[in-house]
């Protein structure tokens, strides 16, 4: 009996430490990057995975700091189940796209998840390991047409027409596609004589696969003129070299829309001959008809007068192209709404409520997005560009309504 008891105690002593060692961890984090030796501006994808044995409703998440990077908003993947050490974990994954801002050794700080204590459990804290990167500088022999593009790209350009009237608007677009740091790419330079052309840059349109640059070109001089090709240079990190691509050049024919002096006189004479009026007494019958037309049209005329007093959407677009900060965008949106309300003879709130349902929704969503951006923990350049694009869409809707 005593020998059996000794065996039982010995088994308990030996088995308990093994059981304690194999007890699965209730929560842990894993962080990785796809490139630990990138160039400045090269795309780096930071992946964070949170492994939990149970669903916690009160997790407190503290993200890592990306002080030496430009960071986009993270994308969250659907939860999955993974088996780790014979335990089924629910895995939450988020991927953050980063672009290093400086060369040298940089560190991504740990991400932290905290499970607060309850009467049934103690506080539990889990951290991901810090990640060190060695960022390489770009070579010093960058061409003049280098606009911070790092990756592998193709370009495509279009000019909407080759013949234009003096003072009309041409639209020139350049699409950059491929793989790389699209949100950081700056617009290429267009070399045009300011005495011959007026150039207005439009806000770029960014996505994960391309960036679209556009310019409004207004000819100031009559005649045939050449628009030179656009050079676009980028750095290929895997080949470690700069590449320069060029668009085609364009020949544009600018015509003067004003008629000659002799043609003017001929047109005036023709109109005078065709519109000879009968004697005044014979026109008295037109008075009631004119009064009826004026009475019916007064509402529309009054509205047209109010609309004419507003700055055209193109004026606001020019102001929008000069925006550099969120504060400037917020002020411009406020000025725009106040101007629209004032020229409509309404308060700002009444003016917004008087809009069509779709246009009112655009205004309200844009105001809410600007307000939320003010308190966002991370607000990058591409976030400002997205808000500018939404504002521009609102202006284009107004321009369509006015036309």
Residues 244-267: pLDDT tens digits?
Answer: 999 999 999 999 866 544 444 444
What contacts 44, CB < 8 A, 6 or more positions away? 33, 34, 35, 38, 69, 97, 98, 99, 100, 133
Q: Which domains does the chain have, with CATH numbers?
A: 23-135 (2.60.40.740), 146-255 (2.60.40), 308-402 (no CATH)
pLDDT band for position 149 (cuts 50, 70, 90): very high
pTM over 0.75: no
How far apart are the C-alpha atoms of 289 and 304, rounded to whole Å?
A: 22
Query: 318 falls in which pLDDT band (50, 70, 90)?
Result: confident
Q: What's the pLDDT score for residue 93?
A: 94
- pLDDT (tens digit, 9 = 90+) per residue, 384-393? 887 888 888 7
pLDDT > 80? residue 272: no
If you average pLDDT over residues 217-246, what whole number do you get?
Answer: 93
**313-321 vs 326-343: helix crossing angle, rounded to 10:** 170
Reported in sequence order, the residue ranges of 181-288 that DSSP labels E, i.e. its strands, are 197-201, 205-206, 210-219, 223-227, 231-236, 241-246, 250-255
At residue 123, the pLDDT reads: 82
pLDDT in tens, 98-129: 999 999 999 999 999 988 877 777 888 899 99
Beta bridge partners of 108: 131
First-last CA distance in the chain: 103
- In this structure, of 105-119, 171-185, 320-334, the range with the lowest mean pLDDT score is 320-334
- Residue that wins the pLDDT comparison between 22 and 33: 33
The 3-state secondary structure of 274-308 reads HCCCCCHHHHCCHHHHHHHHHHHHHHHHHHHHHHH
């Amino acid at each position: 009996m005593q020998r059996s008891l000794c065996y039982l105690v010995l088994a308990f002593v030996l088995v308990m430490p093994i059981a304690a060692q194999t007890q699965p961890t209730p929560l842990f984090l894993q962080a990785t990057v796809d490139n630990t030796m990138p160039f400045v501006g090269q795309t780096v994808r930071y992946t964070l995975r949170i492994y939990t044995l149970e669903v916690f409703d009160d997790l407190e998440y503290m993200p890592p700091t990306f002080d030496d990077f430009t960071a986009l908003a993270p994308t969250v993947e659907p939860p999955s189940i993974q088996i780790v050490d014979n335990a089924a974990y629910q895995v939450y994954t988020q991927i953050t796209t980063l672009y290093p801002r400086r060369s040298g050794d940089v560190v991504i700080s740990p991400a932290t998840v905290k499970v607060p204590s309850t009467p049934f459990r103690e506080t539990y804290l889990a951290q991901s390991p810090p990640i060190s990167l060695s960022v390489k500088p770009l070579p010093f022999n960058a061409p003049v047409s280098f606009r911070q593009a790092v990756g592998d790209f193709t370009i495509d350009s279009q000019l909407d027409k080759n013949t234009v009237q003096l003072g009309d608007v041409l639209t020139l677009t350049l699409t950059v596609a491929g793989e790389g740091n699209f949100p950081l790419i700056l617009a290429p330079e267009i070399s045009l004589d300011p005495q011959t052309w007026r150039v207005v840059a439009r806000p770029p349109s960014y996505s994960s696969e391309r960036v679209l640059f556009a310019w409004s070109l207004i000819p100031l001089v009559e005649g045939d003129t050449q628009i030179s090709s656009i050079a676009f240079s980028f750095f290929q990190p895997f080949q470690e070299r700069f590449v320069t691509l060029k668009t085609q050049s364009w020949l544009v024919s600018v015509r003067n829309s004003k008629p000659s002096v002799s043609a003017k006189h001929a047109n005036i004479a023709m109109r005078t001959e065709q519109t000879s009026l009968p004697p005044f007494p014979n026109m008295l019958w037109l008075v009631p008809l004119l009064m009826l037309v004026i009475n019916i049209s007064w509402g529309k005329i009054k509205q047209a007068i109010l609309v004419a007093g507003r700055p055209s959407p193109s004026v606001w677009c020019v102001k929008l192209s000069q925006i550099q900060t969120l504060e400037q965008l917020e002020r411009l949106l406020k000025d725009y709404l106040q101007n629209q309300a004032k020229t409509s003879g309404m308060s700002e709130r009444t003016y917004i409520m008087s809009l069509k349902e779709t246009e009112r929704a655009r205004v309200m969503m844009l105001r809410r997005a600007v307000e939320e951006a003010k308190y966002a923990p991370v607000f990058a350049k591409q976030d400002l560009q997205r808000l500018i694009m939404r504002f521009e869409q609102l202006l284009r809707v107004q321009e369509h309504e006015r036309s």
